Each structure stands twice: as C-alpha cells, then as structure tokens.
Amino acid sequence: MMTYDTRENSLQSGEPIELYQFTYGNNIYRFTSAQTAVSAVGHTWQPAYLKRSSLDYSAEKSRSNLKIDTNRQFEIADLYMIMPPSDVVLLTVFRLHAGDGDYAIIWSGRVMGVDFAGSTATMTCEPITTSLKRTGLRRLYQRTCPHVLYGNACKVNKASFMLTAALTTVYGTALGCSAFGLYPNGFFAGGYIEFEYNGVVERRFITGHTGTQITINVPLMGLESGSSVRVYAGCDHTKQTCSDKFNNLLNYGGFPYIPQKNPFGNNGIY
C-alpha cells in the first residue's frame, strides 16, 4: 500500500477522494464528493454534490476562504435558509486516494454563510486560522454596562432567571404563553429563548415583552404551539436594572457617573 504523499505526487497512481465532515452542536454530518458511499477514516461518508474552490494558502484572509457549491436542498445549506444557526458549523475536509487508508486533512474551518441562487447553494467558509488574527472586543468608557448578560464578567446565574414554558401560540416572531403574563412588561426584553430542535439548541434574542406575549428577532424553525422553550430575563445594561432586577451592582461594568460636560470642550470654565 502506498502512502498518501506517494500517490498524491504520482502522475498515474492518484485516485483522489475528498471527504467533508460538518459538525453542528452534537450532530456530525459526513459526505463525500465521490459518486458512491465511501468507508474511510473509521466512518461511512454519503455521496453528495460538493464542488469546492481551489485552496489558497495565502496570508491574505479574503483569499483563504473556501467556497463550496452544492444543491439548494443540501442539509447543511438548509440550516442557513432563514438565518445562520446559533452555534458555529465546523468543517473539516479530508483527502485520500481510493484503496488507501492513509489520508490528510487539507482544510479546517467553519461555515460563515450560504448564498442561494436558483437550485444552487454556495457555502462560504473561512479557515480556522482567521480566528487567531481577529481583534478582540475592547471595553469602552461608557455609561451602560458592556458585559454580556449571564457571561463570565456579568456573573449573574442565568438559571435563577430562567422560565421553562410551553408555548400556546406561535405566529412568526410572536410567541404566546400565559406564564409570560406573570412577569411585568419588559421583563424578558433583552433576554433570549432556547429551543432544542434536531438535537441542537437554537437561541433567539427577545426584542419585546408585553403581557402574555414575547417577540423574538427571527423565527425559529420547528417552533410550534406546545413547544417547550427556556426563556431568560433581559437586561437594558443600566445601573438601576443591574441593582434592582439582578442584585448584581458589584459586577456592573459601566461608568454611570461620566460628567455630562466635556472638559475638553471650547468653554474655558469647567
């Protein structure tokens, strides 16, 4: 049996096969661009129409992206039909040669988005190395709190502000449940909901809450009357809300006492 490098560099013996592994939450999807199913790397890979762009290992970020054309009905493309999924979709591309067990990982990264045109869907993927070059968010000098609600800096225990509810009505982005009416208007605005669909937890931002109804930013696939969701209280990132609603003033990250008057203004008397 030849090694991968031997057959890859051969002028006559190469029979390349590529395998595409997509990981979304706990779900792993395995496909091959070959015409029939392939047993390799310890798994069976199902055939699918997958046509990728050439690999460019340039240091320029925009040129290192990978584009993959597939059918509009492709399972992974379908995840992006309404909006990008809540969690990252990872992609690993393997390459081997027919009859050999030796293989190489030729590309690794994540799916950034999908463009639909007629019967074709084009997935745009960026390599994992780009995350190492991305500038992180910087904390600003601002009145409101910059911390992510329930995040490491916020430190509020989200389980203490969670409501598990069975929806009674679902009209697009408007979700109804009598349990929502037990809380004051706006209590859940600025929070989010979680809904498990096909083994993956999807999340949506709550834009409004009035009475027994909340409004989310984008519809959730699979959500219907009777669906069980987890709803988390929201925050407007002000000092008063942090203190009165969450009793978390010790971890407030804003600067509420910034002077109203700019000391660097044109007025010589401060």
Mean pLDDT by groups of 10 residues along the chain of 270 residues: 60 76 92 91 93 75 79 91 86 86 87 93 88 65 92 95 96 95 96 89 94 94 92 96 96 90 67
Cα distances from 253 to residues 53, 150, 191, 233, in angstroms, run 45, 13, 18, 19
Residues 127 and 192 in one domain: no
Q: How many CB atoms lie within 10 A of CB 41?
A: 16
Neighbour tally for 19: CB within 10 Å: 23
Residues 66 and 125 in one domain: yes
pLDDT of residue 49: 93
Looking at the domain assignment, is residue 136 inside a domain?
Answer: no
- Residue 102 confidence (pLDDT): 80
Query: How far is it, in rounded angstroms, from Cα 211 to Cα 62?
Result: 47
List, for residues 144-194, the tens digit of each pLDDT value. 999 999 999 999 999 999 999 999 999 999 999 999 999 999 999 999 999
Total domains, the chain: 2
Looking at the structure, do residues 122 and 216 belong to the same domain, yes or no? no
Specify whether 20 is located in the same domain as 127.
Answer: yes
Q: What is the domain-level CATH number for residue 115? A: 2.40.10
Nearest to 153 by CA among 143, 139, 135, 142: 139
Confidence (pLDDT) at 77: 92
Nearest to 35 by CA among 50, 25, 53, 22: 50
pLDDT of residue 57: 62
Shared domain check, 121 and 189: no
The pLDDT value recorded for residue 259 is 82
3-state SS assignment for residue 158:
helix
* CA pseudo-torsion sign 206, 230, 186, 210: positive
Domain contains 229: yes
Asked if 114 and 22 touch (Cβ cutoff 8 Å), the reply is no
Do 19 and 112 belong to one domain? yes
**C-alpha–C-alpha distance, residues 239 and 241, integer Å:** 6
Kindly state whether residues 164 and 239 are assigned to the same domain: yes
Burial category of 232 from C-beta neighbours within 10 Å (exposed 0-12, middle 13-18, buried 19 and up):
buried
> Domain limits at 68?
4-131
> What's residue 63's pLDDT?
56
Do residues 22 and 103 both lie within one domain? yes
Number of neighbouring beta carbons within 10 Å of residue 240: 10
Q: What is the pLDDT of residue 147?
A: 93
